[in-house]
């Protein structure tokens, strides 16, 4: 009853590192450098996948989508986070928060589904190479990628709509760098059990189901690799999927730890836990997109050759 007399919120305060002003400049520099690397690294992968005809394959089509997704995902929160580090005003409007929440969740969901599609692509390429051109044809891999984006948008739209309809009355301090959906939900002055159920269903469908597809695909891939008698052959086959597997482990390892950890370990006003959550969020929200192009470049001969070819061509044209 006390909440009903409160003014409806029109903006949120992003706490971020406001309790540690001495660290804000350091984090500004670090995150700015990582953001530049994200833009350059993923932009380069997109460019070479378009310009190099040798990379016009389903695998690199998916990789190009992943790189574009990482650019979009980080661009939804990093620029505003950088501004907040240098500004005394660390607020965001309610509508701006809703947009940021929608875009972040849409990109995150899309990446989960897309990684599952990429694992299936690697399974077919290694375990059924003769049928690969038929199963993963242009009529199938383009809709697979498009479907990942559509699923991400629909899931995010549903969850965002249910969150913005919640009443936010008194507390407007989001203990996060950006409008992350869980952090916003905790501020509602109403029962959020329905939202938590929707999130549980969405997590099962769009995070755990792709993860299950990845586990099954790589289990079958490992079995297939072990059947190869030549050690050189095993190494060559494994190298074609090791980069993707590394990205999956880093991405899912951090995101599952954050969203699936037991609630009983959480306590109110736990500074240590808040700091841990923020660092984990920073890891999968910034460092993972930064590492993706580096991992694919260092562990993929085709990508390295394409980059060298692009650099040589640019130098020759000059």
The pLDDT averaged over each successive group of 10 residues in the chain (318 residues) is 50 77 81 93 90 86 93 89 81 89 92 94 92 92 95 95 87 81 85 90 90 93 87 78 83 70 46 56 77 77 74 64
β-strand 173-174 against 11-14: which pairing, if any?
A: parallel
Q: Which residue has the tokens 């989001």?
A: 174
Q: With beta carbons less than 8 A apart as the criterion, state whether 155 and 99 touch.
A: no
pLDDT at 280: 65
pLDDT at 38: 93
Burial of residue 288 (number of CB atoms within 10 Å: 0-12, 13-18, 19+) = buried
Burial of residue 279 (number of CB atoms within 10 Å: 0-12, 13-18, 19+) = exposed
Query: Measured in whole angstroms, how far is the alpha carbon of residue 150 from the centre of its chain?
Result: 15
Domain boundary assignment for the chain: 11-259+275-288
pLDDT at 33: 93
Query: Measured in whole angstroms, how far is the alpha carbon of residue 105 from the centre of its chain?
Result: 9
pLDDT at 282: 67
Sign of the torsion formed by the C-alpha atoms of 204, 114, 77 and 31: positive
Element (H, E) at 75: helix 58-75
Element (H, E) at 11: strand 11-14
CATH code of the region 11-259+275-288:
1.20.1070.10
pLDDT at 113: 95
Sign of the torsion formed by the C-alpha atoms of 300, 303, 307 and 308: positive
CA distance 110 to 115: 9
The structure tokens listed for 307 are 């980059």
Sign of the torsion formed by the C-alpha atoms of 207, 210, 212 and 215: negative
């Amino acid at each position: 009853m006390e909440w009903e007399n409160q003014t409806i919120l029109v903006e949120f305060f992003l706490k971020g590192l406001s309790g540690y002003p001495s660290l804000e400049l350091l984090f500004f520099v670090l995150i700015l450098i990582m953001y530049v690397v994200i833009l350059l690294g993923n932009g380069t992968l997109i460019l070479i996948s378009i310009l190099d005809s040798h990379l016009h394959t389903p695998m690199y089509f998916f990789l190009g989508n992943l790189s574009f997704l990482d650019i979009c995902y980080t661009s939804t929160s990093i620029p505003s986070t950088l501004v907040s580090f240098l500004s005394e005003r660390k607020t965001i409007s309610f509508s701006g928060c809703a947009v940021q929440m929608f875009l972040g969740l849409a990109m995150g969901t899309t990446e989960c589904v897309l990684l599952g599609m990429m694992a299936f692509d690697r399974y077919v390429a290694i375990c059924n190479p003769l049928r690969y051109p038929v199963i993963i044809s242009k009529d199938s891999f383009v809709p697979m990628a498009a479907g990942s984006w559509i699923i991400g948008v629909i899931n995010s739209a549903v969850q965002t709509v249910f969150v913005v309809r919640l009443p936010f009355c008194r507390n407007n301090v989001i203990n996060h760098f950006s409008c992350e959906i869980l952090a916003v939900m905790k501020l509602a002055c109403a029962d959020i059990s329905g939202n938590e159920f929707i999130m549980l269903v969405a997590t099962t469908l769009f995070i755990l189901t792709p993860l299950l597809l990845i586990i099954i695909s790589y289990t079958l891939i490992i079995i297939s690799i072990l059947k190869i008698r030549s050690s050189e052959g095993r190494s060559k086959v494994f190298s074609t999927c090791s980069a993707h597997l590394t990205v999956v482990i880093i991405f899912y390892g951090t995101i599952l730890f954050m969203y699936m950890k037991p609630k009983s370990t959480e306590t109110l006003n736990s500074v240590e836990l808040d700091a841990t959550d923020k660092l984990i969020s920073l890891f999968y929200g910034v460092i993972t997109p930064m590492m993706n192009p580096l991992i694919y470049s260092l562990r993929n001969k085709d990508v390295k050759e394409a980059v060298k070819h692009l650099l040589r061509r640019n130098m020759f044209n000059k």
